[in-house]
């Protein structure tokens, strides 16, 4: 895939608290407000890393969160596995190379932190995302029922069922400790 030239103007950086409202995408993801606030608190405690893609004059156009440790031992397999979640790019900016660039930055950060494997779940009804992950070197290792719940912005419990493929990738390190 050829990377669009505008992608290099996008700054991929760590999320700051002031970015939280922008993750709601003008109301499309307001129901995740508490999830985003909880993710920010985990990041403040060193348990996750929250990346955003900021395009000058436009704002936040993408996000990618990485859980560094969790109680989901079947997902993580110890502290040497990172788990990517909440990865999205606004529709007008997809299929441009931005997602690949964001993944590369997140994976390089995991390598610097000493992680060996990165995992993620991709909805079975999202073949374009699965293709992106496969191009990045991820392989399907299992099927997941994709059942989870959260408290929305109105304080109500919401249940989600999104069958997914669980994918993983081994992170390779060169002699100097950096990724390939």
Alpha carbon of 14 to those of 76, 102, 107, 110: distances in Å?
22, 11, 14, 14
pLDDT score recorded for residue 3: 83
| Residue 134: CATH number of its domain | 3.40.630.30
Residue 175 lies in a domain: no
pTM, rounded to two decimals: 0.89
Structural domain boundaries enclosing 76: 5-170
Count CB neighbours of 2 within 10 A: 6
Question: Contact, 83 vs 164, CB < 8 A?
Answer: no
Position 16 in a domain: yes
Q: Which pLDDT score, from 0 to 100, does residue 80 have? A: 80
Asked whether the predicted pLDDT for residue 156 surpasses 50, the reply is yes
Q: Calculate mean pLDDT across residues 56-72.
A: 87
Asked, for residue 177, whether it belongs to a domain, the answer is: no
pLDDT band at 4 (very low <50, low <70, confident <90, very high): confident
**Residue 176 falls within a domain, yes or no?**
no
Find the mean pLDDT for residues 20-35: 96
- Long-range contacts made by residues 78-81, C-beta under 8 angstroms, separation at least 24? 80/114, 80/115, 80/116, 80/117, 81/115, 81/116, 81/117, 81/118, 81/119, 81/168
Q: Spell out the residues 6+ positions from residue 84 whose beta carbon is closer than 8 angstroms to its own.
A: 64, 65, 66, 103, 106, 118, 119, 120
Residue 27 maps to a domain: yes
Structural domain contains residue 92 = yes
Q: Are 24 and 30 in contact (CB under 8 A)?
A: yes
């Amino acid at each position: 895939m050829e990377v669009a030239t505008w992608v290099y103007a996008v700054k991929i950086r760590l999320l700051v608290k002031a970015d939280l409202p922008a993750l709601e995408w003008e109301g499309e993801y307001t129901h995740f407000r508490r999830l985003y606030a909880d993710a920010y608190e985990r990041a403040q405690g060193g348990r996750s890393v929250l990346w955003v893609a900021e395009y000058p004059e436009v704002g936040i156009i993408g996000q990618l969160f990485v859980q560094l440790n969790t109680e989901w031992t079947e997902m993580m397999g110890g502290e040497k596995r990172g788990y990517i979640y909440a990865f999205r790019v606004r529709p007008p900016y997809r299929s441009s190379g931005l997602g690949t660039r964001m993944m590369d930055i997140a994976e390089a950060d995991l390598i610097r932190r000493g992680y060996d494997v990165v995992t993620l779940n991709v909805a079975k009804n999202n073949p374009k995302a699965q293709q992106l992950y496969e191009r990045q070197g991820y392989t399907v290792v299992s099927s997941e029922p994709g059942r989870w719940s959260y408290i929305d912005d109105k304080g109500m419990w919401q249940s989600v069922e999104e069958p997914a493929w669980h994918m993983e990738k081994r992170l390779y390190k060169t002699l100097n400790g950096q990724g390939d």
